[in-house]
Structures are given as C-alpha cells and as structure tokens.
Structure 1
Amino acid sequence: MRRPGLLDLARAYRLTALGFFGYKAATLLVNALTYPRLSPQPLPPGRPRVSLLVPARDEAHNLPRTLPGLLAQGADEVLVLDDGSRDGTAEVAARLGARVLRGQPLPPGWHGKPWACQQLGEAASGEVLIFTDADVEWQPGALGAVLHELSRSGADFLSVYPRQHNLTPGERLLTPLVDAVLLTFLPLPLLRFAHPSAAAANGQLIALRRETYRQVGGHALVRAELLEDVAFASRVKARGGRLALALGREVLGVRMYRSYPDSLAGFGKNAGSFHGRSRALLLASAGWHVAAYTLPWLLPAQAPGVRLLRALGLAERTAVNLLTGRRTLPDLAEGLLGPVTPLLALPVYRRALRRRVAWKGREYEQ
C-alpha cells in the first residue's frame, strides 16, 4: 500500500478545513435565525422579587461606570460583595448607593468567584437571583428585558452575553473571540437536548429562580471550577433544569479586558477548562487553528481552495460582529485579524498548559 503523497495530504487538509469552516458557517446561520436578542422592556406587572448580585474583587475602576445603571433598574435589592479587594471597591460601591457585603475568607477547596457568588446567593432575598459582573453595563430597560426573556423561555437558568465594547487596538485582538466561540461552535437548538454537555453560559450575567438555586446547592455545585459558568449550566441541566441563552445587544454591554495582556491572562485562566483540562487537546487546538486560519496565507494563492479558505477566515469575525450588533467600521474591520489571530492566541495556550494559573491575586491548580 502506497503512502499518501503530498497531493493526498493537501487534499485532506483542504477538505478538512472546508468542512471546519462549513460547520462554523452553518452554526452561525442557525444561531442568527434562533438566538433571542434582548431589547428594552418595562418591568412586568406582578413580577417576582428580584436581587441583583455583584461579586467584586478590585473593581473600583469599573463600578463608577457600571453601578449607577444597575441601581437604576428598579430591582428590589442590589448587593455588592467585596471579595477581599485592595483598591477601595467597598467604599466606592457604598458611596454609589449599593448595599455592600464584606466577603468572608476563602475556604479550602473553593475558588474565588464561586465563593463570592455563594455568599451573595445566601444573603439575597429575591425570588429571581441575577448574578452580574462588575464590568457589565446595564442600560435602561435591561432588567425588564432579562425578566421578559426568563419568563418567555420558561427557563430555570438564563445566561445573557452582553455586547462587547472594545475601545483600544489591544483589546480588539482577542477579546471578541468570546462571541465567535459561542456563536460558531454551539447551535442554540442543541440546548433542547437532555445531555448536560449541550450547555453554555456566560458568568457575566446569569439569572436563576431561587428555587432552582436552592435545589442544586448554589455555587457550591462548582466550588472549585475555573470555568464555573459553563460547569454551572451543565450541572443544573443534569439535574433537570432548563437552560436558555440570549444576546444582550443594546441593553447590556461589557468591557472585559483593557489590553492584549489582560486578554491573555483572562483567556489563559479559562482555556484549560474549556479544553477539558487535556494538554493534548490544547496542543491540537492551537495547531489546528494555525493550520485553518494562518496557513492559507502562506500557501500559493493559485493552489486549489486556498482563496476560498482565505475568504472564509476573513469573513467569520465580521459576520459574528454583525450578529451581536457590533457594526462600527472598526468592529467590522476586526475580520482582517483572522490570519494572525491564532498566532496572537498562542500565549493563551502556553498559559493554559501550566499546572497553576493566577487570577486577581490568587493562584489555582488546573
């Protein structure tokens, strides 16, 4: 039996890459047709009591921008838990008008954010608990929109992806990939399948009914998870809970990271968990993304399929941004980063291969 020659390898590569992009394009189309997009809504009459819950560690720079919008939503209570901050987070939150809880020391076996959320969940009095990060911007009508979608979907667990606000060139390099991963890999209709692996969530905004939160034991369910949001959704689903996702569009926004190094640290913390803590899978993912997005630009343009692969790699991020409502010229121009994005992401994989990761002054085992 003869060994595959270069032409056979080239053909296999071309077909695999086209299949990869074809799957992602089909998934994006399905999501464009099925994903709920939030729009401003008044608070519904007879609504349940609502608690807005903000875990905050060293967030004094974000709260003056985000907390006033949260406080103006008309929730029954807004609780900010100061998780051992060193920058005056508690004082800023109290001055702006929130009720501030002082976080207890981190117990053995817990990670920081799940522990902060667990304390918030125990202190909250609402029938609906909405956990939201300190960097999420709530526009007028956002709470009504979240409650409307929670009711419309009939879900026990709703997670919303805020629209990304990326202002500097550095934060545009990798941060928008959060949306690309969500919208091009997981078709929303798969959430209807019973298997808990068909789950996704964004810890920037999670809304649960108190009864669901109590039944699953709260964030203790994911006490030692780095990617606690997705794990929480999966385990709620495994216990019979119904999941729903939505795009925040104009009512919810977020500025996650302020620079390229911040993006590396944030994504490096989560990438290992996203790849099942498998070093082999991390290496395969890094290599494949370079092969799919970067390699076509190193091959002769006249080679079969190369121009098509280049076009697909350029179009993907632009199409994702259109779906999420990021439609300024700089947002759309992010598609041009397609060929270099896998190279820019290599330090993320390198961080994720380490046995320990650091985040907000704490170190965790992977």
Structure 2
Amino acid sequence: MKRPDLARAYRLTALGFFGYKAATLLVNALTYPRLRPRPLPPERPRVSLLVPARNEAHNLPHTLPGLLAQGAEEVLVLDDGSTDGTAGIAARLGARVLAGDPLPPGWHGKPWACQQLGAAARGEVLVFTDADVQWHPGALGAVLHEFGRSGADFLSVYPRQRNVTPGERLLTPLVDAALLTFLPHPLLRLPHHAAAAANGQLIVLRREAYRRVGGHALVRSELLEDVAFASRVKARGGWLGLALGREVLSVRMYRSYPDSVAGFGKNAGSFHGRSRALLAASLGWHLAAYTLPWLLPGRVRGVWPLRLAGLAERTAVNLLTGRRRPADLAEGLLAPLTPLLALPVYRRAMRRKVAWKGREYEQ
C-alpha cells in the first residue's frame, strides 16, 4: 500500500473509531439510568448488604458508617484473612463480621468471599458492595427503586469516581470511559450473553436467583469475575441492568498511580480474552489513535479532528458521570499521554501470573 493510501486508511479508521465512541456516548447519555436519593419504601424486601473485605482497615472507617445508616436488615462483613485489623474495625462500627474460611483449590479470593456471604445472608435481596464504596443518604432506596423499575435479575451500579491525588487521575477514571463509550446501554436487552457488563463494586440479585445459578461458584476462578458473572447469568436467561451511581454512590478505587497499574493490570488480560496478541493490538491501536496525532505535524491532513476527538472524549464522559469540577474536566488533556501511562498495565497483563492482595493467580 502506498504511503498516501496508508495515511488515508489510518485517518478514516481513527475517525470511525472516535465516531463510534461518540455515538455510543450520546446513546448512553440519553438512555443510562442515573440514581438519585430516595427514601426506603414502606413495603420492601429484606435486604442484606454484603461486604467482602481483605485488608480494608484504611477504607472501612470512612465507608462502613454510611452503609450501616442505610436501614438494611443486615450488614455483613466477611474478613478474608486480613492482617490489618479489618475484623475488629468492622465489629466496633456495628457490622456483623464473619471470619472467612481458607481459600479452597480452584477458587479466587473475591468470588470465594462473596460465596460465603451469600450463604450466610438472610435477606431476600442480596447487595454485594466493595469496602471502598461510599454509600450516601438515600442510596439504598435509590438502588432498590432501580432494581424494581428495571425488572433486572442482575443489577450493577457504577459509583461515581472520587479521585483525590494527581496520581489517581491518570488511569482510574478510564473505568467510566470503557463502560460508556463501547457498549450502548440498549444492547443489554439483546439475548446474547456477550452483550453484558458489570461492576463488582455493587451487584444486586434476589437470593433465589443467586442460589439458582450457584452463586459466585459460577465464576470461582475468574479474575474479571463481575463481567463473567453478568454474562453467565444472562446466558441462563437472566435480565441485566446497569445504572450510574451519581451523587448517591461514590468510590475511591485506587490511591496512587502504582495502585491503578496493579488493579488494571490484574483485569486487563481477562478483558482482552487472555490473548497476548489482542493485548498488543489494543496497545498499538490506542497509541495510534490518541498519541500519534500529537506526534504528527499539525499541517498533516485530518490530524486536528483526531486530536480534538481524543481530548473531548474523556471530558464528555466525566460530564455524563457527574464529575464536573475543573480538575475533573481537565483530565481530558491527558488523552495523548494515556496510552503511554498504560504501558505498565499492558506489561503486567502479559504475565502468566498476577498478584493481588497478597495472592497470586494464573492468567
């Protein structure tokens, strides 16, 4: 292929890529449910709020009081072999604490912790929520309202990202971009199990549905267990629902750039089908789409639309999720650097084994 033809193919492909993502974001802006504070309905099912916790002493004093104040019938915290006093903190704050059993062969840590929580829960509705998720007033009412309104068998909510330090802003907000620019919300209604997404930070199921599919045993050896769980529930005839937490639910996932690299590196391999070729292709394409336009001379035909599309995307995503402070909106300026910042993530995802919270897993 001649150089002009190659340049034209690159330009059209990149414009098509950004065009698809912009169209998807627009569809999601029009269709994605946003939670807002609601009181608990007078007639409601019994609810169990279930928190898997491994070395979460730094999070629970900030998040558990809000969870306990929601008015659920029970709040259970499973201490998954913590060494930092997690169990004592949770008990002092008022949660019912369960001591986790040792990890059985063939299981990963979080699915096993959730399986034990599901077995111990007494509620009709099970809400699995991570220890770093902040529940604000009216959050449980909002979640139950959306669960009932959507008719979903499996509801997952994306809390609003709360990033404090500059290092947290480099990669962590890309969780929202991946959700909102690739999968149009209406596709969740398609019967095929591949049209699925979820966020393990908050998952809601009815107890009978959870036990009917076997609970988290369905994804016992998955690193990206939340998406796999949603897909397999859907494959068994279940309906999925997704919503944005907006002002009622927030999360501080990672507290530094290295923490973000470790977290994303754990999941990136599964997100790319455990294919090193697909990981390499993904990295190469993102460098071509977001970074290369800024390395080309400004006079090159079509380079400025690509530059502007990359800058606008992350800002538009933040507007949709309700992250509208000046520092949040300025994250869009990181677009050209983001693929370079993600290099350690890809390198970590290429390994045959990954470490997470003191455990090592095969990819």
The bucket for the TM-score relative to the shorter chain is over 0.9
Q: Take 1:19 and 1:302, find their aligned partners in 2: how far apart are those partners?
A: 21
Q: 2:237 matched to 1:215?
A: no
Q: 2:37 matched to 1:37?
A: no
State the partner residue of 2:356: 359
Q: Take 1:305 and 1:278, find their aligned partners in 2: how far apart are those partners?
A: 32
Q: Deviations over 1:213-240 (max 9, x none)?
A: 0110000000000000000000000001
State the partner residue of 1:149: 146
Q: TM-score, normalised by structure 1?
A: 0.99
Q: Take 2:266 and 2:79, find their aligned partners in 1: how far apart are those partners?
A: 21
Q: Take 2:148 and 2:207, find their aligned partners in 1: how far apart are those partners?
A: 14
Amino acid at match of 2:298: A
Q: Deviations over 1:323-344 (max 9, x none)?
A: 0000000000000000000000
State the partner residue of 1:77: 74
Q: How does 1:250-329 map to 2 (within 5 A)?
A: 250-329=247-326
How far 1:46 moved relative to its partner? 1.2
How far 1:104 moved relative to its partner? 0.2
Unaligned runs of 5+ in 2: none
Selected match of 2:99 from 86, 98, 102: 102
State the partner residue of 1:348: 345
Q: Secondary structure at the match of 2:49?
A: strand
Q: Secondary structure at the match of 2:203?
A: strand
Q: Take 2:63 and 2:42, find their aligned partners in 1: how far apart are those partners?
A: 26
How far 1:45 moved relative to its partner? 1.9
Selected match of 1:249 from 234, 246, 250: 246
Q: Take 2:336 and 2:141, find their aligned partners in 1: how far apart are those partners?
A: 40
Identity rate, percent? 85
Q: 2:6 matched to 1:18?
A: no
State the partner residue of 2:202: 205
Selected match of 1:192 from 184, 189, 192: 189
Q: Secondary structure at the match of 1:173?
A: helix
Selected match of 2:336 from 339, 343, 348: 339
Q: 2:229 matched to 1:232?
A: yes
Once the two structures are overlaid, the 10-residue window that deviates more, 300-309 or 249-258, is 300-309
Aligned pairs, number: 363
Q: How does 1:120-135 map to 2 (within 5 A)?
A: 120-135=117-132
How far 1:302 moved relative to its partner? 1.1
Q: Deviations over 1:173-217 (max 9, x none)?
A: 000000000000000000000000000000000000111101100
Q: Take 2:356 and 2:150, find their aligned partners in 1: how far apart are those partners?
A: 34
How far 1:91 moved relative to its partner? 0.3
State the partner residue of 1:179: 176
Amino acid at match of 1:337: L
